[in-house]
Structure 1
Amino acid sequence: MKRHHLTLAMLLALSAAGTVGCTRTTEQEQTTATVEAENLSQLFENYFEERLKLFPLEATAIADKRYNDQLPNDLTVEHEQQVRELYQKYLTQINNIDREALGTQEQISYDIFKYEMQMALKGLDQPSELLPLNQFWSLPITMAQLGSGSGNQPFNTPEDYSDFLGRIKGFTVWGDTAIANMRRGMAAGIILPRTLTQKVLPQLQAMVVDDPSKTIFWAPVENLPESFSAAEKDSIRQAYTQAIREEVIPTYKRLYDFMQQEYLPKSRSTTGISGIAGGEDYYRYLVRYWTTTDMTPDEIFEIGEQEVTRIRSEMEKVKEQVGFKGTLKEFFQYVNDNPKFTPFKTPEEVLAAYKQIEQRMQPQLNQLFGITPKSEFEVRQTEAFRAASASAEYNPPAPDGSRPGIFYVPILDASKYNAVGMESLFLHEAIPGHHYQISLQQEQEGLPKFRQYAWYGAFGEGWALYSESLGKELGLYTDPYQYFGRLSDEMHRAIRLVVDVGMHAKGWTREQAIQYSLDNELTSEEAATAEIERYMAIPGQALSYKIGELKMKALRQRAEEELGDKFSISAFHDEILKGGVMPLAVLEKKIEAWIERQKES
């Protein structure tokens, strides 16, 4: 074997080879990262496409018209199995991707997606298909909104009109399955409280009429586009007359008759979800789902009580500031009843007052936000057909710009519309609350679609409630009564932590929860009752607001303390909003990383 003597040239060559080796390793790592990121991107794309086929109403909501004629029967075992297979398949696939090889943004997407798949699979183990109706969220309500022409379902072309007829057929099948499932629920001890069944009955009954043209589903026929030919108009009128008479009205009637004759007598007398078989476990899941945390019901209840105490003391200060001599409860009454707080005569005046709020805070918005939405924004009066049971709400813009973001305001009688709290309501539902957060999420380039159109109540509602706390920084709340309105809205969300857990985990009755609301906030008995029954219908959802807001306030405080002079409020807000909604634990990690980057800059 020939002996090698290492010359200087050879040493240099070896040394260079070593460097090349390191470079190769780095290149390999980069290649691996690129491949993993591409795999991840493809995975997200495939998932979103497959999901829309199973959830076509979600496609309609984002102005994707491909499935506008479809309404799958999501109450069946078959549909549940398809959905389960979808989640399991993509959970397996994402587990096969090396998270550590991904960039920061991809890691966030990875974490959100994995969390989503795991929670969705756990959700399929819950008995929600046995409780398909309530007075707050259910397909009979959604169908009426879609069929009215004022919702997401478009009615612009003859094909659009034909599409909705397909959904009507699907709804008929769904209605029969809902009845079958509720019978199974009755046998298994999984049934609505009696008070909620009583609330559903008039909603169903309102759709049972003799004349098809007297239903909400006739509105698109009444408003046929001028561009349609006479033959097209005639054909649509005939098809809708038949579909409403033979499918829509009979489906609502069957649901009403069943609920009234069979379901109501068997409905339970208990208030909370713990009153059904397996209800305690179900509530623990719902708490996790809505708060995106591992907090226990007891921990949330305790936080709620602390917040109620803190906000009450703030309310007392405002009462003293305006010189009111009575108790806090009497002050609530005064603010509810004094005519000076109901200055409006027409709905137009109410809407104009909201637009003035937007104009007043416009100059300050640039100091608090570096990025703002491109989407158009409007304030509209809620349609008459749903105004009586509707809350003020935000409807997101269509991503293609065909529909603006809309802040809907229900105005039943303008002369009774109370101005107290208008500023905080606008901050929450409109700007910079839901409009900024949802529009920026949808507009952000490079975000996977599952994130662009995602919703986590703890983040989305948490942000909107946090936005209410920005009023003074935005030049609002100069009137102590508007600030009192802000405190009342915050109190409303704090009360939710107490009453939701109280009813669903601690044996509170509906009446106890209503009384707790009346004792601690600016509300009427009618409004408090409607709210409490909403929490009965969708357990856990009401927890998301305050839990999310408290997390965002804590993150801001941490950033201010750690960054000192380097803290920028607009940069902090931009960082919260960039990337859209996510579980709170993922948000916390994201903000911690941002704080570290700011320290180094």
Structure 2
Amino acid sequence: MGMSHRIAKLLAGATLLWAPVAALDARAPSRTTAKPAQGADARFRALSEAEYRWRIDQNAADEDSGSAGSRQLPDVGPAAQAARLARWEATAKALATIDPQGLSPDVRIDYMVYRGQIDALLAAQRFRDYEKPLNADTSFWGNLAGWARGSFTRESQYRDYIAMLRALPRYFDQQIGNMQAGLARGFTPPRVTLKGRDIGVAQVVDAGTGEDQPFYAPFRTMPANMAPATVAALRAEAMAAIRDGVIPAHRKLLNFLRNDYMPKAQISTAAYDLPDGKAYYRSKIREYVTADMTPEQVHAIGLSEMQRIRGRMDAVMKEVKFQGDFAAFLTFLRTDPQFYAKTPQELLDWAAWFAKSFDGVASDWFGRLPRSRFAIKPVPADLAPFYTAGRGGTGIYLVNTYNLPSRALYALPALTLHESAPGHAFQMPLAAENKALPAFRRDSYLSAYGEGWALYCEALGEDMGLYKTPYERFGMLSYQAWRAARLVVDTGIHAMGWSREKAQAYLHDNTALSDHEIETEVDRYIAWPGQALSYYMGQLAFQRARAKAETALGPKFNIRAWHDAMLQLGYVPLPVIEARTDRFIAEGGKGPYPEEE
């Protein structure tokens, strides 16, 4: 999973229904050769650009903000939520007056992408998702931790940060109010997934006003060229804001979580049991799969893919001449010390080695490489116990070094290809650097595309020869099975009456994931309905499109050119992947960049 679990639940989106795929002309010219926008194009541009600027202004600081981006905490109170609903309803109404067939081919794709975002944002607003601002993976208070880990270089950045600290009590009060409203109507994460979610809040309270306070971190080391008087004044202002606002706000939130929210959260793990739960879960399938599918259809695809992958896993087991059944092989992989790092640094070192191994073959598989580089760092200690094995994005690949016996080295190559390069830390900066695209295609993370690409990259590692042992290949297959199993488990939990224990057992019996990872993963699916479906459905779209191009073009197929064509898209719904591939075929396999010609 990429670092997409930010307020992007506000920014990102997918379409409610991507039926008009035929409207995409596979023979359309590239964006650089398209005719200038005319009447309908201009109307759409004015509408989308104005709304997107407004939408960005609604954004908050989060774990990806670092030292750039918005320096404000949004208004999330009732009046602001009503204003968002009204704005997106008006936008949807205006979009309905624009005929996509009257748009130029490139703008027609922009229209489809944008319409999907508005549909998803509007659905989330109508279901009042803002009344549940946390899940087993992320929370509104945890998202602010990214600012505390930020690195500032200018006085203005420090002052913006202090302003955020002063606004934090108001923001927390609004979020608590939203959570109280959700609690009153039974719209909360399942109680079982909230265990331990108060740890990060308690750590802020317990740290007090000393220099160990997490929110004081940017002030411990300040630029050497800053005037001493300015440094002293900024530090004093920050400490006052922490003492008078940040700590009391966290103490209030902690009391609310422990005494009201966590004990009274819903017991059921199924989205179907939420208010209007069946419609809510279907909206999440549409959002995260970018297609209008039933839970039963998704479930069936998962079962079929699991059977196919299991056949390949059995073949690897025979290749290494393991004496025993599949369950015994999984036990061997989960318990043999040879497969596990002894220290956190050893795990980080192996991750760096695998990331660098891709660099050695990158130019053979990709024509356009991102300018952005990425760092490899451990997951922060307060998040690690319930965090995923890794997380990647622009400039960062986080590796979870907590509970080393659950972090198998044979799975690390697949994880690294997914989270670093050519996965999230490769695709995300390429999208951001593509200034030919409108901002809502560069910056608004679309899970089906982004996660589908990253999972495709895991399988691509086999083509690239990066899995050096049968065990590493099995690790990749186990990860593939894990994502295919999500189609089974997510729909099973939320629509088919599966218990938490049944979901855990399914992953235990069909993947090599450790029991700790299985527990944290299942709780994530329980608390975040539908999101887990995006990975494998997205990968299938990329694999089908590539196979289509390879068959149609034969010896003319150029994998570098096709990869570049896919990565040039920014974030798009899955049908656009096939449509862009059709154009790629029609143009004889020509890539989007001159150096490929």
- The answer, yes or no, to whether TM exceeds 0.5 is yes
Deviation at residue 559 of structure 1 after TM alignment = 1.9
- Partners of 1:215 and 1:121 lie apart in 2 by 38
- Partners of 1:318 and 1:568 lie apart in 2 by 30
Task: Kindly provide the amino acid, as one letter, of the partner of residue 144 in structure 2.
Answer: M
Q: Which residue of 2 aligns with 1:131?
A: 132
- Partners of 1:133 and 1:382 lie apart in 2 by 19
Q: Check whether the contact 1:392–1:429 (CA below 8 A) recurs between aligned residues.
A: no
Task: Kindly provide the amino acid, as one letter, of the partner of residue 72 in structure 1.
Answer: P
Q: Secondary structure at the match of 1:270?
A: coil
- How many residue pairs get aligned? The number is 557
Q: Check whether the contact 1:378–1:407 (CA below 8 A) recurs between aligned residues.
A: yes
Q: Which residue of 1 aligns with 2:59?
A: 55
Report sequence identity in percent.
31
- Partners of 2:268 and 2:404 lie apart in 1 by 37
- Partners of 1:46 and 1:434 lie apart in 2 by 28
Cα distance, 1:474–1:171 mapped onto 2, change above 3 Å: same
Q: 1:173-188 to 2 correspondence within 5 Å?
A: 173-188=170-185
Deviation at residue 483 of structure 1 after TM alignment = 0.2
Q: Deviating runs (4+, > 6 A) in structure 1?
A: 413-416
Equivalent of 1:332, from 323, 330, 333? 330
Deviation at residue 223 of structure 1 after TM alignment = 2.1
Cα distance, 1:416–1:101 mapped onto 2, change above 3 Å: closer
- Partners of 1:59 and 1:500 lie apart in 2 by 26
Q: Check whether the contact 1:201–1:256 (CA below 8 A) recurs between aligned residues.
A: yes
Deviation at residue 318 of structure 1 after TM alignment = 0.9
> Which deviates the most, 176-185 or 325-334?
176-185
Q: Check whether the contact 1:192–1:267 (CA below 8 A) recurs between aligned residues.
A: yes
Deviations 1:342-376 (A, max 9, x none): 355561x4334333334434443323222221222
Q: Secondary structure at the match of 2:267?
A: coil
Q: Which residue of 2 aligns with 1:458?
A: 448
Q: Which residue of 2 aligns with 1:17?
A: none
- Partners of 1:177 and 1:596 lie apart in 2 by 53
Equivalent of 1:485, from 460, 468, 475? 475
Deviations 1:76-111 (A, max 9, x none): 222123323433444444445554454332221122
- Partners of 2:41 and 2:67 lie apart in 1 by 28
Deviation at residue 220 of structure 1 after TM alignment = 1.4
- Partners of 1:593 and 1:423 lie apart in 2 by 33
Q: How does the TM-score come out when normalised to structure 1?
A: 0.86
Q: Secondary structure at the match of 2:387?
A: coil
Q: Which residue of 2 aligns with 1:321?
A: 319
Q: Check whether the contact 2:393–2:419 (CA below 8 A) recurs between aligned residues.
A: no
Q: Secondary structure at the match of 1:477?
A: coil
- Partners of 2:231 and 2:586 lie apart in 1 by 63
Q: Secondary structure at the match of 2:266?
A: coil
Cα distance, 1:221–1:312 mapped onto 2, change above 3 Å: same
Q: Which residue of 1 aligns with 2:340?
A: 342
Equivalent of 1:245, from 233, 243, 246? 243
Task: Flag the structure with more relative contact order, 1 or 2, with Cα contacts below 8 A and sequence separation at least 6.
Answer: 2
Q: Which residue of 1 aligns with 2:26?
A: none
Q: Check whether the contact 2:388–2:520 (CA below 8 A) recurs between aligned residues.
A: no
- Partners of 1:578 and 1:210 lie apart in 2 by 45
Equivalent of 1:381, from 346, 359, 378? 378
Deviations 1:404-438 (A, max 9, x none): x2212222477985311121112111111112211
Equivalent of 2:155, from 158, 183, 198? 158
Cα distance, 1:306–1:537 mapped onto 2, change above 3 Å: same
- Partners of 1:386 and 1:192 lie apart in 2 by 18
Task: Kindly provide the amino acid, as one letter, of the partner of residue 83 in structure 1.
Answer: R
- Partners of 1:58 and 1:415 lie apart in 2 by 30
- Partners of 2:56 and 2:513 lie apart in 1 by 40
Deviation at residue 56 of structure 1 after TM alignment = 4.5
Q: Which residue of 1 aligns with 2:555?
A: 565
Cα distance, 1:416–1:77 mapped onto 2, change above 3 Å: closer
Q: Secondary structure at the match of 1:208?
A: helix
> Which deviates the most, 236-245 or 525-534?
236-245
CA RMSD across the alignment: 2.7
Deviations 1:134-181 (A, max 9, x none): 3422211112232233xxxx5222222221222223321222223323
Cα distance, 1:117–1:550 mapped onto 2, change above 3 Å: same
Q: Check whether the contact 2:61–2:147 (CA below 8 A) recurs between aligned residues.
A: no
Equivalent of 1:282, from 277, 280, 283? 280
Deviations 1:294-319 (A, max 9, x none): 11111111111112222222111111
Q: Check whether the contact 1:135–1:200 (CA below 8 A) recurs between aligned residues.
A: yes
Q: Secondary structure at the match of 1:207?
A: helix
> Which deviates the most, 385-394 or 554-563?
385-394
Q: Secondary structure at the match of 2:460?
A: coil
Deviations 1:558-595 (A, max 9, x none): 22222223322222212211121101123222222332
When Rg is computed on C-alpha atoms for both structures, the one with the higher figure is 1
Residues 1:235 and 2:222 are matched in the alignment: no
Q: Check whether the contact 1:364–1:475 (CA below 8 A) recurs between aligned residues.
A: no
Q: Which residue of 1 aligns with 2:16?
A: none
Q: Which residue of 1 aligns with 2:418?
A: 428
Deviation at residue 188 of structure 1 after TM alignment = 1.7
Q: Check whether the contact 1:193–1:268 (CA below 8 A) recurs between aligned residues.
A: yes
Q: Which residue of 2 aligns with 1:4?
A: none
Cα distance, 1:313–1:63 mapped onto 2, change above 3 Å: same
- Partners of 1:62 and 1:523 lie apart in 2 by 31
Equivalent of 2:436, from 426, 429, 446? 446
Cα distance, 1:235–1:506 mapped onto 2, change above 3 Å: same
Q: Check whether the contact 1:364–1:473 (CA below 8 A) recurs between aligned residues.
A: no
Structure 2 runs not aligned, ≥5 long? 1-33, 591-596
Deviation at residue 542 of structure 1 after TM alignment = 0.7
Q: Which residue of 1 aligns with 2:460?
A: 470
Deviation at residue 479 of structure 1 after TM alignment = 0.7
- Partners of 1:260 and 1:415 lie apart in 2 by 31
Task: Kindly provide the amino acid, as one letter, of the partner of residue 56 in structure 2.
Answer: L
- Partners of 1:171 and 1:362 lie apart in 2 by 42
Residues 1:217 and 2:218 are matched in the alignment: no
Q: Which residue of 1 aligns with 2:167?
A: 170
Residues 1:522 and 2:512 are matched in the alignment: yes
